[in-house]
Structure 1
Amino acid sequence: MRLSNKRKAPLYNFINTALIMFLVMGILAFFAEEMRFQLLGMEAYLFIAVPAMLIIIFYLNGRQIFEYDSDGEALHFRNRNIVPFMSTPLSDEFPKYKFVKFETFTFLFFKRLYITINSKSGNTILKYEISYLTWKELNDLKFSLNKVIKNNKEKVNDE
Structure 2
Amino acid sequence: MRLSNRNKASVYNFVNTLLLIAVALGIVVFFADRHRLKALGDESYLLIIVPVVILLAFHLNGRQIFEYDSDGEALNFKNRNIIPFLNKPLYDEFPKYKLIKYEVICIFFIKRLYVTVSSKNNGSTVLKYQISYLTQKEVNNLKFSLNKVVKANKEKKD
Identity %: 61
* Alpha-carbon distance in structure 1 between the residues aligned to 2:114 and 2:49: 33
Q: Does 1:75 align with 2:67?
A: no
* Alpha-carbon distance in structure 2 between the residues aligned to 1:153 and 1:113: 20
Q: 2:149 matched to which residue of 1?
A: 148
Superposed CA offset, 1:70-93 (max 9, x none) = 000000000000000100000000
TM-score scaled by length of structure 2: 0.98
Aligned pairs for 1:2-151 (under 5 A) are 2-120=2-120, 121-151=122-152
Q: Secondary structure at the match of 1:19?
A: helix
**Matched AA of 1:149:** V
**Matched AA of 1:96:** K
How many equivalent residue pairs? 157
Which portions of structure 1, spanning 4 or more consecutive aligned residues, are displaced by more than 2 angstroms?
none
Taking only aligned residues, the RMSD between alpha carbons, in angstroms, comes to: 0.5
**Matched AA of 1:50:** V
Shift of 1:154: 1.5
**Matched AA of 2:64:** Q
**Matched AA of 2:84:** P
Q: Secondary structure at the match of 1:78?
A: strand
Shift of 1:103: 0.4
Shift of 1:153: 1.2
Q: Secondary structure at the match of 2:63?
A: coil
Shift of 1:4: 0.2
* Alpha-carbon distance in structure 1 between the residues aligned to 2:100 and 2:77: 15
* Alpha-carbon distance in structure 2 between the residues aligned to 1:74 and 1:92: 10
TM-score scaled by length of structure 1: 0.98
Shift of 1:155: 1.5
Q: Secondary structure at the match of 1:106?
A: strand
Superposed CA offset, 1:13-55 (max 9, x none) = 0000000000000000000100101111110000000000000
Gap runs ≥5 in structure 1: none
* Alpha-carbon distance in structure 1 between the residues aligned to 2:77 and 2:144: 15
Q: Secondary structure at the match of 1:136?
A: helix
